[in-house]
């Protein structure tokens, strides 16, 4: 039997964000021993008001954070380096590596994540399967789950596990608020 760990948590809306079109965002995370992370983002709200990009060919694309996008930040607690993954409802994605806080950004060499989306009245669900980089596979890691939600009227809401003081900043270590324990074969 695989050694896995599942965690459920909720994101918090940034206090300076636009309000009224998203009620809640929950996240379920499963980390398997092979470095694969399975994520389910579950958004409750006025889904008919949210701007979701139309399904497209899954491909690496920059600038996804400018529209509705779900994110994973992950790094070791004892290091300044970290990775960022962006997942768009269209199926497009991005992955970056940083040497420090917003420093040394490079495109992260990785396999394409698998993204599936479903929607029904009041609920949008995105499931993602992503491989962590080799440097994070066998170690405990700190993770930050976040979302940028744009509505059809230009309003934007920023959601994360935790927020530092001031403007929304998902790169800030305060947002890396969930420990993903390393898994090994049992």
Dump pLDDT digits (tens) for 45-97: 999 999 999 988 999 999 999 999 999 999 998 889 999 999 999 999 999 99
Q: Does residue 16 register a pLDDT over 70? A: yes
Within 10 A of 10 (CB to CB), how many other CB atoms are there?
A: 12
The pLDDT of residue 1 is 30
User: Is 160:168 a contact under the CB 8 Å cutoff?
Assistant: yes
The pLDDT of residue 150 is 96
Alpha helices in the chain (DSSP H): 134-137
If residue 156 lies in a helix (H) or strand (E), which one and from where to where?
strand 156-160
Distance (Å, rounded) from C-alpha 53 to C-alpha 89? 6
Torsions phi, psi for 46 (to 5 deg) = -85, 75
Burial of 184 (0-12, 13-18, 19+ CB in 10 A): exposed
pLDDT tens per residue, range 137-184: 888 899 999 999 999 999 999 999 999 999 999 999 999 999 988 866
Alpha helices in 33-109 (DSSP H): none
């Amino acid at each position: 039997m695989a050694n896995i760990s599942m965690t459920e948590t909720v994101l918090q809306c940034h206090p300076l964000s636009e309000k009224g079109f998203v009620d809640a965002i929950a996240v379920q995370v499963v980390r398997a021993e092979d470095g694969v992370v399975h994520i389910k983002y579950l958004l409750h709200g006025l889904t008919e008001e949210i701007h979701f990009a139309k399904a497209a060919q899954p491909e690496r694309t920059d600038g996804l954070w400018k529209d509705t996008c779900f994110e994973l930040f992950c790094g070791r607690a004892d290091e300044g380096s970290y990775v960022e993954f962006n997942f768009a409802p269209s199926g497009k994605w991005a992955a970056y590596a940083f040497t420090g806080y917003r420093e040394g950004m490079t495109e992260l060499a990785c396999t394409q994540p698998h993204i599936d989306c479903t929607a029904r009245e009041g609920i949008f669900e995105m499931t993602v399967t992503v491989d962590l980089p080799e440097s994070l596979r066998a170690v405990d890691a700190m993770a930050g789950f976040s979302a940028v939600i744009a509505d059809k009227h230009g309003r934007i809401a920023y959601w994360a596990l935790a927020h530092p003081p001031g403007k929304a900043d998902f790169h800030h270590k305060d947002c890396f608020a969930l420990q993903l324990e390393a898994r090994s074969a049992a």
